[in-house]
């Protein structure tokens, strides 16, 4: 797997393709990221590249973090992300990684933090069906039965119930890159990505089953 | 540039600049690009605008006509390259933004009064 990119979600719009079809796209401002660490078998036992994104004030970071970043002469960066790669020699410390590592029509995986929905009920969280709303029914949004009776005398672990929903890392796979704007560091992906505008987004080349490892 | 400005600038590259001023109630002739066996040609579609949605790049008009006794409504993305041209044929007088009541009418009752204070 080659290196990916960090960015922020800006929002959604639509673009027209060459046949005139309107395509829903998400606009992501990705990079430029800096290579902050190159891990090799000799030093770390495996190969990976660490990149940083999101300039911050110096005071926002701890001294160990700042010390780590000075090795690559990078400015204070808020987010660090590591990507496993077989060819870490292609990257050098302090090198800039930009959106041009992706091309149009390429498939990518996108992960980010989904919108937090708070304490959500059965219908919203697990797509339970609702009860009748009228005819004397008092069972509008209740869960129904949660298990058998005296045997086993308990509810099995993992039973779907109401609770906190969203606000967790979610990955959307195989999104198509529609357009790349190198000047403004923009990447347009077909479809939606997790989170609200402003969310930190991690874009990697699609992890396809059966695909040759690059 | 903030997020909204960037998105607006992406949209503005695709917006058409030469659109006529259209209102609900107008009779328009829309040139629709259709593909037939690898060839493209423009097919006209004429009718009354009964609804309009002003959503920037997502701006649409709903055009209604009676074709062979059957009411046909088509929704056009105004800024789409598939819509080759829009020509105002007649300005109509409408007192509401959505003319859905025309769906329940037949024959002479579907006519709208012509207005002359707006140029074609």
Q: How confident is the model at residue A87 (pLDDT cuts 50, 70, 90)?
A: confident
Rounded Cα–Cα distance for residues A63 and A56 (Å):
13
User: Average pLDDT of A40-51?
Assistant: 91
Rounded Cα–Cα distance for residues A56 and A54 (Å):
6
Contact B7 A29 (CB under 8 A): no
Instruction: Decide if pLDDT at B1 tops 90.
Output: no
Q: How confident is the model at residue A19 (pLDDT cuts 50, 70, 90)?
A: confident
Rounded Cα–Cα distance for residues A21 and B67 (Å):
26
At residue B29, the pLDDT reads 95
- Whether A137 is in a domain gets the answer no
Contact B10 A14 (CB under 8 A): no
- Whether A173 is in a domain gets the answer yes
Contact B14 A16 (CB under 8 A): yes
User: Average pLDDT of A70-99?
Assistant: 87
User: Average pLDDT of B62-88?
Assistant: 93
Rounded Cα–Cα distance for residues A186 and A198 (Å):
14
Average pLDDT, chain B: 91
- Whether A138 is in a domain gets the answer no
Rounded Cα–Cα distance for residues B50 and B100 (Å):
6
Contact B6 A16 (CB under 8 A): no
Q: Among all chains, which residue has been given the structure tokens 């967790």?
A: A168
At residue A24, the pLDDT reads 94
- Whether A25 is in a domain gets the answer yes
User: Average pLDDT of A191-207?
Assistant: 93
Contact A27 B33 (CB under 8 A): no
At residue A192, the pLDDT reads 94
At residue B38, the pLDDT reads 84
Closest CA to A20 of B59, B31, B34, B42: B34
Q: Which of A9, A13, A178, A185 to mutate to test the interface with B (most CBs of B within 10 A)?
A: A13
Give whole-number Cα distances, A159 to A25, A83, A118, A147, in Å: 36, 35, 19, 9
- Whether A154 is in a domain gets the answer no
Q: How far is CA A74 from the centre of its chain?
A: 24
Q: What is the CATH number of the domain that holds A116?
A: 2.40.30.10
Give whole-number Cα distances, B18 to A37, B11, B43, B109, in Å: 52, 16, 20, 34
At residue B90, the pLDDT reads 93
Write down the number of H helices and E strands in chain B.
1, 5
Instruction: Decide if pLDDT at A44 tops 60.
Output: yes
> Cβ(A203)–Cβ(A28) under 8 Å?
yes
* Assigned token pair, A30: 């990705």
> Cβ(A32)–Cβ(A12) under 8 Å?
no
Instruction: Decide if pLDDT at A176 tops 90.
Output: yes
- Whether A149 is in a domain gets the answer no
Q: How confident is the model at residue A22 (pLDDT cuts 50, 70, 90)?
A: very high
**Could you say which DSSP state residue B81 is in?**
T
At residue A211, the pLDDT reads 77
User: Average pLDDT of B34-61?
Assistant: 91
At residue B84, the pLDDT reads 92
Distance from CA of A191 to the nearest CA of B (A): 15
At residue A214, the pLDDT reads 52
Which pLDDT tens digit goes with each residue over A115-154? 999 999 999 999 999 999 999 999 999 999 999 999 999 9
- Whether A65 is in a domain gets the answer yes
* Assigned token pair, B63: 């055009």
Q: How confident is the model at residue B3 (pLDDT cuts 50, 70, 90)?
A: confident
Q: How confident is the model at residue B102 (pLDDT cuts 50, 70, 90)?
A: very high
Q: How confident is the model at residue A213 (pLDDT cuts 50, 70, 90)?
A: low
What angle is formed at CA A201 by the lines to CA A192 and CA A116, rounded to 5 degrees? 70
Question: What residues make up the domain containing A51?
Answer: 5-131+162-210
Q: Give the chain B residue nearest A26 (alpha carbons).
A: B7
Q: How confident is the model at residue A73 (pLDDT cuts 50, 70, 90)?
A: confident
Q: Among all chains, which residue has been given the structure tokens 């937090």?
A: A116
Which pLDDT tens digit goes with each residue over B4-17? 889 998 888 889 99
- Whether A142 is in a domain gets the answer no
Interface confidence (ipTM) of the complex: 0.81
Closest CA to B30 of B45, B19, B41: B45
Instruction: Decide if pLDDT at A205 tops 80.
Output: yes
Number of structural domains, chain A? 1
User: Average pLDDT of A56-83?
Assistant: 90
Residues of A with CB under 8 A from a CB of B: 10-16, 20, 22, 27, 29, 184, 186, 188, 197-198
Rounded Cα–Cα distance for residues A204 and A48 (Å):
14
What is the bridge-based pairing of β-strands A107-113 and A48-55? unpaired
Beta-strand ranges (E) seen in B27-104 are 27-36, 39-53, 60-67, 70-77, 83-90
Which pLDDT tens digit goes with each residue over B15-38? 999 899 999 999 999 999 998 888
């Amino acid at each position: 797997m080659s290196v990916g990119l960090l960015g922020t979600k800006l929002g959604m719009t639509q673009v027209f393709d060459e046949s005139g079809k309107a395509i829903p796209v998400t606009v992501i401002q990705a990079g430029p990221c800096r290579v902050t660490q190159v891990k090799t078998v000799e030093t770390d036992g495996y190969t990976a590249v660490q990149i940083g994104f999101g300039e911050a004030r110096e005071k926002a970071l701890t001294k160990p973090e700042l010390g780590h970043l000075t090795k690559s002469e990078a400015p204070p960066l808020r987010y660090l992300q590591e990507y496993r790669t077989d060819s870490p020699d292609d990257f050098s410390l302090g090198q800039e990684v930009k959106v041009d590592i992706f091309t149009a029509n390429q498939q990518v995986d996108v992960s980010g933090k989904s919108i937090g929905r708070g304490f959500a009920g059965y219908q919203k969280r697990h797509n339970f069906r609702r009860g009748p709303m009228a005819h004397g029914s008092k069972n509008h949004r209740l869960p129904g039965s949660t298990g058998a009776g005296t045997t086993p005398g308990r509810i099995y672990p993992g039973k779907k119930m109401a609770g906190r929903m969203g606000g967790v890392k979610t990955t959307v796979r195989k999104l198509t890159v529609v357009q790349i704007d190198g000047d403004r560091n923009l990447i347009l992906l077909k479809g939606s990505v997790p989170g609200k505008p402003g969310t930190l987004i991690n874009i990697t080349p699609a992890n396809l089953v059966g695909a040759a490892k690059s | 540039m903030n997020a909204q400005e960037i998105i607006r600038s992406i949209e503005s590259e695709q917006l058409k600049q030469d659109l006529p001023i259209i209102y609900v109630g107008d009779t328009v002739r829309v040139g629709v690009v259709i593909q037939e066996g690898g060839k493209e040609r423009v097919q006209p579609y004429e009718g009354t605008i009964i609804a309009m949605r002003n959503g920037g790049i997502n701006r649409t008009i709903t055009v209604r006509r009676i074709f062979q006794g059957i009411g046909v409504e088509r929704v056009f993305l105004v800024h789409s390259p598939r819509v080759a041209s829009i020509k105002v044929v007649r300005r109509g007088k409408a007192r509401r933004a959505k003319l859905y009541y025309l769906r329940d009418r037949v024959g002479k009752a579907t006519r709208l009064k012509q207005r002359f204070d707006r140029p074609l």
